[in-house]
């Protein structure tokens, strides 16, 4: 194996998005500036926004397909597929903004280095643990970066959860640890929890929660 092969992964995580609101499709990945080897093609994770009922994403080699729907949307899921809904009914424009922001945050968590990183295998492990294959996604802003947003976190009780903290220069291990402790305390019966911490330029810290609710 050459030195170049030992220093860089064989391929980077590839994410595709099919958006039925804007009728656009895209695929995105990363590459090393020191080894700009093209690696697009089949995706590892597919996002589908507002698909018509009965739509089935063609097999493209993805480990999982995530269908993003407005609240109270019923969908029959193909194999290796999961439904992701917002926690309240949104207008068409509000739903589009929610889906775009959510996918961008998941993409940043999986593709960019942070204070505490998780990768696609961590996300897949959470998805596979969710027996219903129906998950909710909420984006929670911090009102004060020095305090965990307890009131908003307590609205949810998860059986399994994939979470990520996004913050700027104020991001610290203490901030990460306090959020993790809060999630574990609130979700005392949680089966599995993955928590990342990623740097970003948003003016206030944000938490994204993606998981299956307790029944």
pLDDT of residue 117: 75
> Does residue 182 surpass a pLDDT of 80?
yes
Distance of CA 119 to the CA centre of its chain: 10
The confidence band for 9, taking pLDDT boundaries of 50, 70 and 90, is very low
**pLDDT tens digits, 20-65:** 998 888 888 766 667 655 556 778 899 999 999 988 877 667 899 9
Q: Can you give the pTM of this predicted structure?
A: 0.88
CA distances (Å), origin 103, targets 80, 115, 180, 214: 18, 20, 22, 23
pLDDT value, residue 8: 43
8 Å CB contact between 115 and 63: no
Listed in sequence order, the DSSP H helices in 46-129 are 92-111, 120-129
How many beta carbons lie within 10 A of that of residue 21, not counting itself? 14
Spatial CB neighbours of 96, under 8 Å, sequence gap ≥ 6: 21, 22, 49, 50
What DSSP string runs through 155-214?
T--EEEEEEEEEESTT--HHHHHHHHHHHHHHSTT-SEEEEEEEE---SS-EEEEEEEEP
Mean pLDDT, the chain, rounded, equals 88
Cβ neighbour number for residue 44 with a 10 Å cutoff: 19
Contact (Cβ atoms closer than 8 angstroms) between residue 16 and residue 62: yes
């Amino acid at each position: 194996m050459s030195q170049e092969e030992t220093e860089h992964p064989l391929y980077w995580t590839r994410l595709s998005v099919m958006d039925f609101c804007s009728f656009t499709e895209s695929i995105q990945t990363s590459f090393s500036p020191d080894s700009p080897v093209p690696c697009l093609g089949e995706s590892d994770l597919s996002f589908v926004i507002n698909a018509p009922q009965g739509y089935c994403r063609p097999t493209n080699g993805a480990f999982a397909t995530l269908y993003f729907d407005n609240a109270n949307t019923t969908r029959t899921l193909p194999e290796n597929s999961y439904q992701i809904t917002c926690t309240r009914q949104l207008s068409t424009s509000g739903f589009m903004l929610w889906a775009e922001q959510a996918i961008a945050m998941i993409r940043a968590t999986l593709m960019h280095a942070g204070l505490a990183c998780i990768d696609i295998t961590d996300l897949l492990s959470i998805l596979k643990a969710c027996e219903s294959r129906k998950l909710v996604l909420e984006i929670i802003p911090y009102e004060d970066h020095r305090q965990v947003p307890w009131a908003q976190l307590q609205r949810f009780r998860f059986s399994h959860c994939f979470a990520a903290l996004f913050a700027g220069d104020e991001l610290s291990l203490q901030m990460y640890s306090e959020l993790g402790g809060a999630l574990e305390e609130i979700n005392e019966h949680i089966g599995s929890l993955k928590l990342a911490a990623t740097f970003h330029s948003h003016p206030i810290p944000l938490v994204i929660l993606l998981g299956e609710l307790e029944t």
